[in-house]
A and B are shown apart, each in its own frame.
Chain A
């Protein structure tokens, strides 16, 4: 396990990041789930162990993986819309429905706005202590990051995993006293942080496991 910098070079299109930065450990866990075709997890249920370990080190206390959340900067945003219309034409021909109500209920049409962004330099960067080859192998299975990947947002052109020759104090999860990922409140070296309820290990969408954490202010 060595100090590493991981960069996703995006193809130059847009990415949708409604929940902010992404954890490198969650991406690697997703890649393992993809590789072994694991079924989706259910929020609130116990999380089964992964069939293979993540190629990143855990903290000595075992509470977090030594991997940062993504660092990126928005260059410009655009509002896009997700539309859904009930298949009324097919319902007419293929079902026995008497009525389609598109204004309310299960057949309701919707048009939901979301923000698609261009990132400065078309890249996201993570820091971690891990096994470079193992990380490369898993990230090679991931071709899109962020939300709305099914319609090609966040396409990754290539992944770069490079050694960090001179890691800073607190590497890879604290820099200049500021957390680079949610950390336990008593994490050493934290001086510039805010308190928030966050999840410490993937899957981060399982908010039933939230606890008070130190996050970037």
Chain B
């Protein structure tokens, strides 16, 4: 297969509130934003899903897909005995199977450790790595004192709003118009939530669960707290205050739409399928941001288009995300399954 450059443009929809924060001021968490130049030349800060976060989610999805296809996750699930290692240091059966370096490579892209010989490009080793871990070519990484440049560029999840109208692809605006969905300002998409971490010592029913000594100490602290309030003693009030923590967070409301794209250069059907696998695995259970434990951050892919870039004329091809997902990844899975021993050997010995 010749070199191909393509861009997958996807509309994501927030199924639950998105809590993707860039900083906290006091007890208030502010949503991740980016400076955007409007058509009139002025600048405004617009909420967005950070490309770093989305690219990491893709990397994590393909890392798990690789481990699964190589039988390493299955091995972990069926752990029944302490791990045993063969002469090469590879875990033969049962137990956790990755080294620290392998975990860093798969989930973070690795790092230059300073060990080994960085004064030559070891082409055979480079090709062997690409063969064992096809997604490494797409996402890049640092491995065995070599930097492998990535081949995909992941865009921000741009909020489909009035401020981004001139930046999102035309077909996205057309799709919104066809759905009868008018664009609103980014402020209209932001909501502020307040949550409170409760202090169990304030609940008499829970106080009854305490041991006598602990309950006595608590009663004394509560009495001291009341006294401090009565006497308006700021220092004593601070020392005896409860651990209740009210805080606010900016969230993007469910139903918000995001224009997202992934640009890729691929050199083989295997790499193309690895890209599809990463996307399908991510979109199967897509989430971004924090507070996922309380139902935040869930996304779904609504509609997608594929654009061939390295061709004279740009051509859009509609992609049915739902229909493609089950078929995606067959080449990738078959390749990793066939090279499972090599994958294990590489992961056991890798320096990253």
- By a CB distance below 8 angstroms, the chain A residues around B150 are 150
A40–B153 contact, CB under 8 A?
no
B99–A87 contact, CB under 8 A?
no
From A14, A82, A83, A87, contact of B35 by CB (8 A)? A14
CB proximity of A45 to chain B, nearest CB, Å: 7
CB proximity of A118 to chain B, nearest CB, Å: 5
Given that A42-B121, A76-B35 are contacting pairs, would A150 and B140 also be in contact in the complex, using a CB cutoff of 8 Å?
Answer: yes
A87–B140 contact, CB under 8 A?
no
Q: How far is the CA of A79 from the CA of B107 in the complex (A)?
A: 26
Given that A76-B43, A86-B108, A149-B153 are contacting pairs, would A106 and B121 also be in contact in the complex, using a CB cutoff of 8 Å?
Answer: no
Given that A86-B104, A96-B83, A143-B309 are contacting pairs, would A151 and B37 also be in contact in the complex, using a CB cutoff of 8 Å?
Answer: no
- By a CB distance below 8 angstroms, the chain B residues around A14 are 34-35
- By a CB distance below 8 angstroms, the chain A residues around B104 are 86-87, 106-107
B153–A42 contact, CB under 8 A?
no
**Which residues of B in the span 123-182 have a Cβ within 8 Å of any Cβ on A?**
123, 126, 140, 146-150, 152-156, 166-167
- By a CB distance below 8 angstroms, the chain B residues around A34 are 3, 265
B100–A97 contact, CB under 8 A?
yes
A151–B96 contact, CB under 8 A?
no
Query: How many A-B contacts are there with CB distance less than 8 Å?
Result: 116
**Which residues of A in the span 157-177 have a Cβ within 8 Å of any Cβ on B?**
none
CB proximity of A104 to chain B, nearest CB, Å: 14
A194 within 8 A of B: no
Closest to A85 in B: B108
- By a CB distance below 8 angstroms, the chain A residues around B155 are 151-152, 155
A63 within 8 A of B: no
- By a CB distance below 8 angstroms, the chain A residues around B111 are 106
A140 within 8 A of B: yes
Given that A12-B37, A37-B3 are contacting pairs, would A45 and B120 also be in contact in the complex, using a CB cutoff of 8 Å?
Answer: yes
B37–A118 contact, CB under 8 A?
yes
B51 within 8 A of A: yes
A61 within 8 A of B: no
- By a CB distance below 8 angstroms, the chain B residues around A118 are 35, 37, 43
- By a CB distance below 8 angstroms, the chain A residues around B5 are 141, 143
B154–A37 contact, CB under 8 A?
no
Mask, B1-25, CB within 8 Å of A = 1, is 0010101000000000000000000
Q: How far is the CA of A44 from the CA of B121 in the complex (A)?
A: 12
A78–B100 contact, CB under 8 A?
no
A41–B121 contact, CB under 8 A?
yes
Q: How far is the CA of A155 from the CA of B158 in the complex (A)?
A: 14
- By a CB distance below 8 angstroms, the chain A residues around B55 are 150-151
CB proximity of B2 to chain A, nearest CB, Å: 10
**Which residues of B in the span 64-121 have a Cβ within 8 Å of any Cβ on A?**
67, 72, 76, 83, 95-100, 102-104, 106-108, 111, 113, 118-121
A40–B96 contact, CB under 8 A?
no
B156–A95 contact, CB under 8 A?
no
Q: How far is the CA of A155 from the CA of B9 in the complex (A)?
A: 14
- By a CB distance below 8 angstroms, the chain A residues around B337 are none
- By a CB distance below 8 angstroms, the chain A residues around B152 are 150
B154–A150 contact, CB under 8 A?
yes
Closest to B113 in A: A106
Q: How far is the CA of A111 from the CA of B116 in the complex (A)?
A: 27
A44–B154 contact, CB under 8 A?
no
B265–A40 contact, CB under 8 A?
no
Q: How far is the CA of A91 from the CA of B126 in the complex (A)?
A: 25
CB proximity of A105 to chain B, nearest CB, Å: 10
Q: How far is the CA of A197 from the CA of B154 in the complex (A)?
A: 35
Q: How far is the CA of A42 from the CA of B148 in the complex (A)?
A: 11
Q: How far is the CA of A140 from the CA of B313 in the complex (A)?
A: 11
A82–B95 contact, CB under 8 A?
no
Given that A141-B5, A150-B154, A152-B153 are contacting pairs, would A94 and B96 also be in contact in the complex, using a CB cutoff of 8 Å?
Answer: yes
**Which residues of B in the span 179-212 have a Cβ within 8 Å of any Cβ on A?**
none
CB proximity of B116 to chain A, nearest CB, Å: 13
B103–A91 contact, CB under 8 A?
yes
Given that A37-B3, A75-B37, A87-B103 are contacting pairs, would A11 and B167 also be in contact in the complex, using a CB cutoff of 8 Å?
Answer: yes
22 sample A-B contacts, Cβ–Cβ < 8 Å, listed by A number: A12-B37, A12-B167, A40-B146, A42-B118, A76-B35, A83-B52, A86-B104, A87-B106, A87-B107, A87-B108, A90-B106, A91-B103, A95-B98, A106-B104, A118-B35, A141-B265, A141-B310, A149-B153, A151-B153, A151-B156, A152-B156, A155-B155
Interface residues, chain A, CB within 8 Å of chain B? 11-14, 34-35, 37, 39-42, 44-45, 75-76, 78, 82-87, 90-91, 93-97, 106-107, 118, 140-141, 143-144, 149-152, 155
With contacts A90-B107, A143-B5, A150-B140 known, what are 15 further pairs, Cβ within 8 A?
A13-B167, A40-B121, A41-B121, A82-B52, A86-B104, A87-B103, A94-B103, A107-B104, A118-B35, A118-B43, A144-B153, A150-B55, A151-B51, A151-B156, A152-B153
By Cβ-Cβ distance, the 8 closest A-B pairs, closest first, are A151-B51, A87-B107, A152-B155, A94-B98, A78-B35, A95-B98, A39-B121, A152-B51
